[in-house]
Structure 1
Amino acid sequence: MIDQMYYHCLRYKNRKVRILTRDGNEYRGTLVDVDRNNVYLRPEGGSVTTSAFFGYPGFGAGLLTLSLFSLLAISLI
């Protein structure tokens, strides 16, 4: 499951997406990067109000880091 989500995220890199997580949250923004553990999202509106916020080297602050394990679905918007 994680491998499938990883490859989906790779296809959507640098595109606007909607992400649903297993805990019922929804996030919208531009998928900036993905690695084997995390997805890095620049949220719409530029504000991040969650404990999952981390700066990502090379992209500046304001990115949301989500664990690939927590993703339930991802789609283009």
Structure 2
Amino acid sequence: TGEEVRKEAQEKARQEAETLISRARAEIQQERNEAVGELRKEFADLTIMAAGKVIDRSLDKKAHRQIIDKVLEEAPTLKKD
């Protein structure tokens, strides 16, 4: 009957709309995650750059050497199995 056809068309349209909305949400979430990741990377790069400038200004050659030596002492060594 005409009523059944109309209901089927409405249900199909509703399902298609839900699919489109779901895809759009997934795409938005993926783009958001990528943007957040990029911002974190840029923030980390800026932080490292700023810290480097502060260290360069505030430490002399001896202090640099002490920091490097300490990091090397604390760094885990690579072991061959």
Smaller-chain TM-score bracket: under 0.3
Higher helix share: 2
Higher strand share: 1
Larger gyration radius, structure 1 or structure 2: 2
Return the structure number with greater relative CO, CA threshold 8 A, min gap 6. Answer: 1
